Amino acid sequence: MKTIKITILMCVVALSTTAMAQKGTKVGHINSNELLTAMPERTAVQKELEEYANELKVTLDVMRKEYETKVGEFQSKQDVMTDVIKDTKIKEITDLEKRITEFQQTAEADLQKKEQTLLQPIIDKAKTAINDVAKENGYTYVLDSSVGVVLYSVDSDDLLAKVKKKLGME
């Protein structure tokens, strides 16, 4: 009998503790991709990245045009070339192919690095605003719904509108 009373008492204490803990937990969510896309700074970054990518493309196009010209020249004159000149022209074309490939790889890496450098301040600004809104509104957790890792959750508040307001966006 005493054991049953102790068990019931323990259950009541455990349930009340769980209920109190759940009352103190406030969960919200935000789609960070949507927020970053909506931020006005993003447009300027996108424009700058497109301009940089176009500069790289122009350089690459010039290199390809040079390659096509050299190959066309070689093909049209190879019958009258000596072996030494053929070997030299083939080496020039091969070297140009390597330069084009290296340029493509370097350009892609540079573009990604530039994107990261330009986006980081925007990401930091958004993160600060999210943290401020969460603290101001008493949220215990804020989940990023754009990542797709939350498989189930109870209804929570979407903070996108409040964070946009914090950033001065409509």
pLDDT tens, 97-115?
A: 999 999 999 999 999 999 9
Return the closest-CA partner of residue 52 out of 100, 105, 111, 109: 111
More confident residue, 150 or 156: 156
CA triplet 12, 13, 14: central angle to 5 degrees? 90
Question: What is the CB-side half-sphere exposure of residue 46 using CA atoms within 13 A?
Answer: 8
H/E element holding 8?
helix 2-24
Mean pLDDT (the chain) is 84
Class of domain 26-166: alpha beta
pLDDT for the residue 109: 96
Please give the average per-residue pLDDT across 126-144, as a whole number: 88
H/E element holding 34?
helix 32-38
pLDDT for the residue 159: 85
Structure tokens at 122: 């925007």
* Parallel/antiparallel/unpaired status of strands 27-30 and 157-158: parallel
pLDDT over 50 at 29, yes or no? yes
pLDDT over 50 at 77, yes or no? yes
- Phi, psi values for residue 29, rounded to 5°: -140, 160
pLDDT for the residue 112: 96
